[in-house]
Amino acid sequence: MLKLFGHDASPYVRRVRIVLAELQIPFERDTHGWQDPAPEFTAASPIRRVPMLELAAGAQVRHIFDSRVIASLLYGTPHPRPAGEPPFQDAMFDPGLALLDENVLSVTDAAQDSLVNVFLLENDGIRPEQGTYLQRQVERGRGCLDWLERAYRGKHTLAPGRLAYADVAVISLLGWIRFRKRMDLTPWTQLLALEAAHAARPSIASTNPR
């Protein structure tokens, strides 16, 4: 029995939801929002960040933190052969890409963390123009998007003919930026083309924050 904790607007939760859908792994959802987390979540998670995955087997209950760790566990869980068009990659990373997809994921995480940081501080009334730290976070996010734009130049998936976890992470980042009105994405045409190429895919469309 798997239970996923985390609100729909979170890009990290969205990544895990897409993997669960693509691998056809059944699970339960926690329905609490980001400002009213479930008591079970706050009691179990020392890092207080979503997503958290709860694994229950009889009387034994374990909790897994961080989207990357959760995704890695899910790929190792028995599941039907992934399908879709293009097919979903049945491994978190492709060793044939010489660490490119791991770099893409690391850069995506850096952009996401910086922009979430700015978003949360703005909610507390602290604007980027009030401090150089937040200005650097915004520039870091833009620089990461520039790097990703180059990585996806001329292609709609990182690995030829397969939708990979790195692609899912980038698509989730773009969806969150638009949902939270963080910045105008127009300059990053390659990334917008990546997003548009998979927008109708059921796992992508059903998890798009609105």
Considering the domain architecture, whether residues 137 and 170 belong to the same structural domain is answered as yes
Number of domains observed in the structure of the chain? 2
**Domain around 67:** 2-75
CA pair distance 133, 147, nearest whole angstrom: 21
In a domain, 163, yes or no: yes
End residue of a domain, out of 46, 75, 104: 75
Position 194 in a domain: yes
Query: Cβ distance 100 to 151 under 8 Å?
Result: yes
Residues 113 and 190 in one domain: yes
Whether residue 196 is predicted with pLDDT greater than 90 in this model: the reply is yes
118 and 57 part of one domain? no
**What is the per-residue pLDDT for 34?**
80
Is 116 part of any domain?
yes
Do 113 and 147 reside in the same domain of the chain?
Answer: yes
Share of the chain above pLDDT 70, in %: 100
Categorise residue 125: left if φ over 0, alpha if ψ from -120 to 50, beta otherwise.
left
Question: The domain spanning residue 159 has which CATH number?
Answer: 1.20.1050.10
Tens digits of residue pLDDT in 17-31:
999 999 999 999 997
Same domain for 69 and 112 = no
Is 86 a domain residue?
no
**172 plus 122 within the same structural domain:** yes
CA 155, CA 161: separation in Å to the nearest integer?
A: 10
Q: List pLDDT tens digits, range 146-192.
A: 999 999 999 999 999 999 999 999 999 999 999 999 999 999 999 99
Give alpha helix (H) positions in the chain.
11-22, 39-44, 67-75, 100-123, 132-151, 165-179, 189-197, 202-205
Taking the C-alpha atoms of residue 180 and residue 210, their distance in angstroms, rounded to an integer, is 10
Q: Judge if 110 and 178 occupy the same domain.
A: yes
Handedness of CA 169, 52, 41, 114 (dihedral sign): negative
Euclidean distance between CA atoms 17 and 175, whole angstroms: 14
Pair 68, 99 in one domain: no
Residues 65, 45 contacting (CB under 8 angstroms): yes
54 and 99 share one domain: no
Q: 5: which strand partners?
A: 52
On the question of pLDDT at 57 being above 90, the answer is: no
